[in-house]
Amino acid sequence: NNYVGSATISPGDNFFVESNGRHVDQILRAGDTIQLRDSNGRSQYVTVSAVDVSKVTFSPPFESEIATRTPVYTKQKVVVSAKASSTEMKTALESLPGVGFVSVSREGPKDSEGFTWFITFQSTMGMSACSMQSWCLTSNIDTIQYVKVSGLGQGYDGNYVQTSFTDGRPRYVLLWSS
């Protein structure tokens, strides 16, 4: 989640003005989903319909108890296919607000490791756009390791990548058949 600012919101409101006068029009755009919390910490997700400097209009209306100086968060992401071209990756990243221009190249696939992406952020956003880490673009690698499986038969043999842990156990997903 990316911190947008804070606001006081009453039940039935369909807008807020960022409490610190922050220009949220540099962060939010129509169609973004934002998270609002009431004074008891209950969350409600709403969709931004308009942004004008520090004022954000959203729907549906806020249905919870009054929220005083509640933090407002947004999650901005793109989902890109593992087989996407470098042009598709570039287009997806540049569609995110605040990213600017990027150059992207891709190597692979390698039999054991899939694709390797090289991304260079070419725009200088400056500290005003990125003064808090949560406002900045971050990336991470979900795949930790892979295992080559053979002898189980068609549809099961291939390279499996570790993507996460569930109840302390590694979870593997078939990358492609061998």
Query: What are the CA-CA distances from residue 18 to residues 3, 23, 73, 75 (Å)?
Result: 12, 8, 12, 17
> Which residues, in sequence order, are bridge partners of residue 7?
70
Tens digit of pLDDT per residue, the chain (178 long)? 578 889 999 999 999 999 988 899 888 888 888 888 888 888 888 889 999 999 999 999 998 888 788 888 886 667 777 778 899 988 888 877 667 788 888 887 776 667 777 888 777 554 344 444 444 444 444 444 567 788 888 778 887 776 666 666 777 777 754 4
Half-sphere exposure of 166 (CA within 13 A, CB side): 5
Q: Report the pLDDT value the prediction gives residue 54, as an integer from 0 to 100.
A: 94
Q: Report the pLDDT value the prediction gives residue 49, as an integer from 0 to 100.
A: 94
> Which residues, in sequence order, are bridge partners of residue 162?
172
Q: Which of 158, 150, 154 is nearest to 176 (CA)?
A: 158
Report the chain's terminal Cα–Cα distance, integer Å. Answer: 38
Q: Report the pLDDT value the prediction gives residue 32, as an integer from 0 to 100.
A: 83
d(CA 29, CA 156): 44
Residue 70, both tokens: 């509640």
Q: Report the pLDDT value the prediction gives residue 178, as an integer from 0 to 100.
A: 45
Q: Report the pLDDT value the prediction gives residue 50, as an integer from 0 to 100.
A: 95
Name the DSSP letter for residue 67. E
Q: Which of 93, 103, 96, 92 is nearest to 129 (CA)?
A: 96
Query: What are the CA-CA distances from residue 47 to residues 21, 73, 162 (Å)?
Result: 21, 12, 34
Query: What 3-state DSSP class applies to 39?
Result: coil
* Other CB atoms within 10 Å distance of the CB of residue 111: 10
Q: Report the pLDDT value the prediction gives residue 60, as an integer from 0 to 100.
A: 92
